């Protein structure tokens, strides 16, 4: 009989305290959910990246709450041990009230365990309201794909001293508002390390260096089927004989901090 237990928010907090790296992968359907879960990935993310990987859009902006719920429900059906995190899509949380309504649907209909939202200071009240109502929240700073048109493209964030300080301030404010975890995307390594050291909650990096408390990748990037893979990704299928083997290789590389390597990071 397996001794494996369900990953919870408490598990993630304990992993940070114990120095054990957190593994996260995106999932969009039942078949891949089953494989990911079997390879002992800690967190599955039903990301609005499905707009690009599944729907074929150029950005995540067109993804709706109904889209997210459809995919979350499919993933949840085979997600037995991993914690299931689900994105709040573009313009679905423009007020705390809207965020509460859509989160209720995502958790009740999509069976999510945690929701993720993008943004710093403007989201403090929303995070506070969600956590007040018993919702685990993962915040997301750095490159925020839902704001790609405002940012002018997919660019590294936090390189100036002022921008870096603002990101740190936002991270601390989100933690104080009740966020249970923080994704840092496309952030210089030194800044990501500083934020990780300052926070009590775990950081999950993507293009933010191996110093974060965990890592997340888009499944299609890991499998080498993304037409133009981002710098921070790695094709784990190259040296693996199967999809399960590639996922296991990713898991092991994150756990022993060999991924991400220097070539996957921004200085």
Q: Is 257 annotated as a binding residue?
A: no
The conformational region for residue 227 under phi > 0 = left, psi -120 to 50 = alpha, else beta, is alpha
Nearest to 115 by CA among 88, 142, 94, 133: 88
Active site residue 262: no
Q: Is 160 annotated as a binding residue?
A: no
Q: Alpha-carbon distance 22 to 201, whole Å? A: 12
- Residues written for the chain: 267
Catalytic annotation, pick one of 185, 198, 262, 263: 185
Q: Alpha-carbon distance 179 to 175, whole Å? A: 5
Q: Is 48 annotated as a binding residue?
A: yes
> What are the residues whose beta carbons fall under 8 Å from the beta carbon of 77, sequence distance 6 or more?
30, 33
Question: How many CA atoms within 13 Å lie on the side-chain side of 109?
Answer: 13
Binding region for 3-methyl-2-oxobutanoate? 48-49, 87, 116
Binding region? 48-49, 87, 116, 118
Active-site residue list: 185
Binding region for Mg(2+)? 48, 87, 118
């Amino acid at each position: 009989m397996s001794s494996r237990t369900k990953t919870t928010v408490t598990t993630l907090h304990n992993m940070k305290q114990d120095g054990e790296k957190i593994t996260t992968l995106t999932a969009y359907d039942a078949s891949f959910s089953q494989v990911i879960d079997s390879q002992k990935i800690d967190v599955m993310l039903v990301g609005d990246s499905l707009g690009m990987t599944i729907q074929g859009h150029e950005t995540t902006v067109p993804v709706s709450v109904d889209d997210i719920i459809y995919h979350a429900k499919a993933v949840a059906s085979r997600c037995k041990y991993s914690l299931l995190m689900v994105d709040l899509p573009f313009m679905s949380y423009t007020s705390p009230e809207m965020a509460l309504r859509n989160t209720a649907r995502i958790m009740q209909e999509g069976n999510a365990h945690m929701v993720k939202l993008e943004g710093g200071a403007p989201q403090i009240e929303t995070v506070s309201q969600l956590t007040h109502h018993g919702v685990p929240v993962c915040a997301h700073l750095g490159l925020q794909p839902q704001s790609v048109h405002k940012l002018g493209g997919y660019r590294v964030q936090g390189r100036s001293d002022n921008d870096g300080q603002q990101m740190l301030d936002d991270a601390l404010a989100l933690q104080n508002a009740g966020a249970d975890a923080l994704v840092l995307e496309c952030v210089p390594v030194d800044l990501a390390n500083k934020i990780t050291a300052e926070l009590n909650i775990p950081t999950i990096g993507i293009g933010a260096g191996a110093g974060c408390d965990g890592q997340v990748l888009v499944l299609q990037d890991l499998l080498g089927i993304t037409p133009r893979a981002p710098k921070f990704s790695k094709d784990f299928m190259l040296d693996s004989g199967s999809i399960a083997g590639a996922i296991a290789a990713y898991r092991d590389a994150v756990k022993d901090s060999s991924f991400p390597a220097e070539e996957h990071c921004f200085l």
